[in-house]
Amino acid sequence: MNNILVYGASGQVKMIMDIIHKRNNYNIVGLILNSNVKIGRYRIINTNGSLGQGSKMINFSNLTPGVTTGSSVKIGDSSAICIEATLVNNINIGRHKVIGASSLSSKDVGDHKLAYGSPITVTKDREKDYNYYSKYNYVI
């Protein structure tokens, strides 16, 4: 079964979602309701994940279950935002970044960082050019 991400949820889109669900050909893994959202390739918005209006999510990024973002948030390439984290309006999350579970980020966080807490604190740098995906046998 293929996974799909649905943009919008009003009018005809609701009918199409019902048809997709009943035919059981696709697994609807995410739904974008907000306007002006831009999403790159190979990204995941998991159960109850929310990407705010005008936000951007770049390639290979992941919002895990329960993540909430405000408007105009930019999530960099190959970044992971962990369970129940909250990102407020108008912030940038860098490339190859991990935001820990239940964190609250109200400020920009640079590239190659590990950060968590409420308020968020950068705790560690991640190695540049390290292939985290191959270490754990993930396929990109």
Q: What would the pLDDT profile of 119-137 be if each residue is shown by its tens digit?
A: 999 998 887 766 655 555 4
What burial letters (b/e) apply to 43-61, b meaning 16+ CB within 10 Å? bbbeeebbbbebbbbbebb
Query: CA 81, 42, 27: angle at the middle one, nearest 5?
Result: 95
Cut 0.85: pTM above it: no
Domains and CATH numbers, the chain: 1-33 (no CATH), 36-135 (2.160.10.10)
pLDDT at 88: 96
Mean pLDDT of all residues belonging to the chain: 83
Asked if pLDDT for residue 10 goes beyond 70, the answer is: no
pLDDT above 90 for 74: yes
The answer to whether the beta carbons of residues 122 and 99 sit under 8 Å apart is no
Q: Environment class of residue 137 by beta-carbon count within 10 Å: exposed (0-12), middle (13-18) or buried (19+)?
A: exposed
The answer to whether residues 20 and 28 touch, using CB atoms and an 8 Å cutoff, is: yes
Say if residues 94 and 110 touch (Cβ distance below 8 Å).
yes
pLDDT value of residue 137: 47
The answer on pLDDT for 16 being more than 80 is no
DSSP 55-119: -EE-TT-EE-TT-EE-TT-EE-TT-EE-TT-EE-SS-EE-TT-EE-TT-EE-S-B-SSEEEETTT
